[in-house]
Amino acid sequence: MLCMNKVCQIGHNDLKLFLRHKSSYVWLFGIPLLFVYFIGLANKGSRGPAQLNPQVAIENADQGPLGAFVCRMLEGQGLKIVGPNETHPAVARIRIQQDFTAKVTELEQARIELVYPTGLSDAHVAIIKARLVRASIAINGLIIQVALDKGLPLTAQRIMEVAARPQIVTLQARFAGCRPIPTGFYFSLPGTTVMYLIMNLLIFGGSTLAQERQSGLIKRLAALPISQWQLILGKVYGLILLGMVQIAFFLAAGMLLFGVRIGSNLPGVLLVLVALA
C-alpha cells in the first residue's frame, strides 16, 4: 500500500507541475479545440454514399404505362421525385421521351435522358446514374420475361402483368455499415482527440523526462527511498492522468459546445480512451 502511495504521489505531483505552466493549457486545450471547430466546419457538408439521396425532377412525356412505371422504379431505387413547384430544387432532371411505351413495345431504342449542371458533384452523378441503370435493367428484364413467356406478343399490358407477379428471386442492395458516416463535429472531435492525445503524451512525456534528466531531478528522486519500478510507474501514471484531463475536456467540450452525442455506451468509450492514453 505504501508503495502505491509513492507511485500516486509522483504522478499527482507531475500533473500539478505540468498544469502550472500557462502554455500547457494552449497546447492541451486551446489549439486542439480550434482544430475541432475548423475541421468540423470543413466537413459539415461532406456525406457518404449511403447518406446521399439526391432530389431529381422527372419530366415524363410518355402517355403510356411504362413511363409511369419507370418513375415508380426510380422512386423505389431511392431517388426523391420532386415537381416543378417544390421548395427544394432538384439537382438533376430526367426526361422520358414522349413515345417511350411505343418504342419499347416495338423493340426500338427508347431514350431516358439525364440532364445535370456542370458543377454537380461526382458522387451525386454516380448515384443517379447507378439508379437509372438499375431501372433500365429491370425494364429489359421484364421484356425478356414476356418474350420467354410462350411467345406472347410484347405489349405494355403484358409487361405490367409480368411486373406484378411475385418475384422468385429478390435483391437487396445497400452500402456497407449500419450507421451513417460521421460528418461535421462528429467527424472532427474523435479524430482530433486521438491525434492530440497521442501527440501531447509523446511530446510532453519525452520533453519532461529529458528536462528532469538535465536538471538532475531524476538523480535526486533516485536518492530517495523508492525503487526504480516505483519511479517508472509514477511517471507513467502522471502521463495517464494528463491524458485523462485532456479526454475529460474534449468529451465535455464536444457535448456542451458542439452538441456531439457521445453515445449510450459512455463507459466503453472511456475505457477505450484510457487504454489509448
pLDDT in tens, 132-154: 888 888 888 888 888 777 666 77
3-state helix, strand, coil split of the chain in percent (to 5) is 60, 5, 30
Q: Is 171 among the domain residues?
A: no
pLDDT on residue 176: 63
Give the three-state DSSP class for 240: helix
Over its C-alpha atoms, the chain yields an Rg (Å, rounded) of: 32
H/E run at residue 113? strand 112-115
Identify the domain boundary among 164, 198, 229. 164
226, 208: one domain: yes
Range of the domain at 71: 49-164
177 dihedral zone (left: phi>0; alpha: psi -120 to 50; beta): left
Q: Point out the domain boundary residue: 115, 130, 164.
A: 164
Q: Is the pLDDT of residue 2 over 80?
A: no
User: In this structure, what C-alpha cell is assigned to residue 232?
Assistant: 517508472
Residue type, 208: T
Least confident of 23-27, 46-50, 158-162, 258-262: 46-50
For residue 99, report the phi and psi dihedrals to the nearest 5 degrees.
-105, 40
> Residues 152, 70: one domain?
yes
122 in the same domain as 86: yes
Q: How far apart are CA 40 and CA 51, in angstroms?
A: 18
Report pLDDT digits (tens) over 183-238. 788 888 888 888 888 888 888 778 888 888 888 887 887 788 888 888 888 888 88
147 and 96 belong to one structural domain: yes
Q: How far is residue 125's CA from residue 116's CA, in Å, rounded to a whole number? A: 8
Please indicate, yes or no, if residue 250 is contained in any of the structural domains.
Answer: yes
Q: 64 and 29: one domain?
A: no
37 and 94 housed in the same domain: no
Q: Band of the pLDDT at 84, cuts 50, 70, 90?
A: low
Q: What is the pTM of this model?
A: 0.54
The verdict on residue 178 lying in a domain is: no
Average pLDDT along the chain: 80
**pLDDT tens digit sequence for 176-197:** 655 666 778 888 888 888 888 8
